[in-house]
Chains A and B, each alone.
Chain A
Amino acid sequence: MNGKALPYLLLMPATLFLCVFFLYPFALVAFEAVTRDGAFTLDNFRTMAGSWKFPVTVSNTLLLAAIVVPIQLAMALLMASVVSRLETGRSVALYIFAIPLGISDLAAGLIWLAIFDQSGFLNTLLSTLGIVDRPIMFLGYQDKLTIFVAVALAEIWRATAIMMVILVAGMGLIPKEYCEAAEVFGAGPWKRFIRITLPLLRPSLQTAIILRVILAFEVFAVVAALGGTNLPVLMGETYNWQFTLQDRNVAAASALLILAISIGFTLFFLRVLRVPKEARI
């Protein structure tokens, strides 16, 4: 057999699979988003954007991403630095940090619901300690801010580990000599982190941030569990259009919007954190 053809041949099944079960349905969704009753139209996007919930949905989603991702990034960097420096017990620490990764987002939402619920752990604790007389309703429909904070907490708890794991792997790829050289030439721990580790970590930072930002725009189950419809987000609205309002075309338009935002941010971070070819390790 021709040796040059072999790799392509081996890639064929996976490519076909993706075409049939991803590209084709995607094309269908895209088609549905820009048609109604068989005719091309942008009405679906207009309907979506015209909904009274739309502005608050977009702002909630963006705000959540804007608050959660930077906090996660900072925490993941800190945790990864600590874990990378461990000489013993490194894998134990990694496993423990990674536990939330094994839990589905809905389960994570439910865990935090169990904490913040009227009869949940937090209220039990507060009343046992005598701080409150009767349970506080943290997640009532009027308490947008507490719901927001609870969702942010749950998201941070749930998905920081994925960034950390990527960053730990990235830090492992940086040869120790660079940090030693920086140390010899006068850089203290903070300077070494800023001037050596961070720039050399750019490829991993890129992966971690893009992955996390995309996931942040798709936030759904955690919000549904903790806030129901009190904190509308983009993915929840897409679900609403599809199943509650039974409008597949607007739901498709909404899904495309999420995709567009994700692609936009991905391109942005690819550009900003790009490592020029000549400056790679």
Chain B
Amino acid sequence: MAEIAIKGVAKRFGGFTALHQVDLAIADQEFMVLLGASGCGKTTLLRIVAGLETPSQGEVWIGGRRVDHLPPRERGIAMVFQNYAVFPHLTVFENIAFGLRMKKLPQQEVERRVNRTAELMHIEQLLKRYSGQLSGGQRQRVAVARALAVEPDVILMDEPLSNLDALLRLEMRAELKGVLAASKTTTIYVTHDQVEAMSLADRIAVMHQGRIVQAASPVEVYRDPAARFVGSFIGNPPMNFLPASKAANGGWSVAGLTLPGPRSERQNIEFAIRPEDVDAGDDGLQATVRVIEPLGPHTLVTCDVEGGLFRAVLDSGATVAVGDRLRLAPKPDRIRWFDPETTNAL
């Protein structure tokens, strides 16, 4: 059992605050992805869990044991580094065996485990080579095998796929998911790639400016962003936002449309909808088409709605031309509202 609890962890570097009082609970065997733009503190948080960085305040618990005062080697973790950190002076075999040798396991057991994990990562033919003789993808596999070989309670991954080319990344992504699910470890995975996050995670913790903005399942993060930032960061293209003002009958008026919405003291709030959640029809938001991008499965249309940019994903069969005036009807159950001051969902 290796559930992880991060309690009130903060990190300051001189005058800069990298993390503000972060709380996060990760269940045993859960695959948690920390997602955010560079500089949001996700790697710092991972390194604090690893013990490579000391928190300025707060506690880290792994498997019911408080670990923030322990060195990394006593935390029962393994880590895959962004640049792999495959030791150049050791063979692939010795790299994978490193953690096992440190635990002073008998040679027979070391060989058994190295061979098993090498087979799992399809690198059994590379065991005698050195890091300098491997491609980026192969080094990546060695780094993962080294982490799996110690059979850790927790695997920490710091942007492990970011140095691979697009095709390889896709392949490794699927493979990692399978391997890690089979290994039954708790995983924290740091990435700035939302597709990677969506496809791998049991839960995503979206981070922004040193805070966790939302921690939820990929679908929930996508459909019900807890804050404006999440909606604008996740999804490609991201969510559309339009200003809404209070209408007479308790509804909200958005670009000439009156919609039922949440109760709020404010006179002005924000309306949000995902590009794929609008239908072109006879009724809806008035939009003037600016750019049309046929993408195959669907067509991305960039429009002008009340002077603001608005993207809509239409059926690839739709016949539109630049300059057309469309009526885009938002699907009622997919409309989200945000408070413009706190940027939180209403």
Contacts and interface: CB of A to CB of B under 8 A. Distances in A.
B87 A196 contact: yes
A182 interface: yes
A167 B91 CA distance: 25
B303 interface: no
Contacts of B69: none
Contacts of A200: 88-89
B95 to A, nearest CB: 9
A184 B88 contact: no
Interface stretch (B57-65, B125-133, B173-181, B214-222): B125-133
B97 to A, nearest CB: 10
A65 B48 CA distance: 47
Contacts of A199: 89
Contacts of B225: none
A184 B73 contact: yes
A267 B102 CA distance: 34
A184 B52 contact: yes
A277 interface: yes
B98 A278 contact: no
B55 interface: no
Given A180-B81, A200-B88, A279-B88, A187 B102 contact: yes
Contacts of A196: 87
Contact of A181 (B51, B81, B133): B81
A279 B133 CA distance: 8
* SS class, residues of chain A in contact with chain B: helix
B321 to A, nearest CB: 54
B130 A184 contact: no
A185 B89 contact: no
Contacts of B51: 183-184
Interface in A239-281: 275-281
A87 to B, nearest CB: 12
A188 interface: yes
A181 B73 contact: no
A184 B89 contact: no
B78 interface: yes
A186 interface: yes
B132 A191 contact: no
B83 A279 contact: no
B77 A184 contact: yes
B89 A279 contact: yes
B52 A180 contact: yes
B88 A186 contact: no
Nearest to A199: B89
A118 to B, nearest CB: 53
A102 interface: no
A186 B87 contact: no
| Most B-side CB within 10 Å, residue of A175, A186, A278, A281 | A186
B132 A280 contact: yes
B99 interface: yes
B79 interface: yes
23 contacts: A175-B83, A178-B88, A180-B81, A181-B81, A183-B51, A183-B72, A183-B73, A184-B52, A185-B146, A185-B150, A186-B98, A186-B102, A186-B150, A188-B73, A199-B89, A200-B88, A200-B89, A202-B89, A276-B130, A279-B88, A280-B88, A280-B132, A281-B88
Interface of A: 175, 177-178, 180-188, 191, 196, 199-200, 202, 275-281
Interface of B: 50-52, 71-73, 77-79, 81, 83, 85, 87-90, 98-99, 102-103, 129-133, 146, 150
Given A180-B81, A196-B87, A278-B133, 19 more contacts: A175-B85, A178-B85, A180-B52, A180-B72, A181-B81, A182-B87, A184-B50, A184-B72, A184-B78, A185-B98, A185-B99, A185-B146, A186-B98, A186-B103, A187-B98, A188-B71, A277-B132, A279-B130, A279-B132
The 7 A-B residue pairs with the shortest CB-CB distance in the complex, in nearest-first order: A186-B102, A185-B99, A177-B85, A181-B85, A278-B130, A199-B89, A186-B73
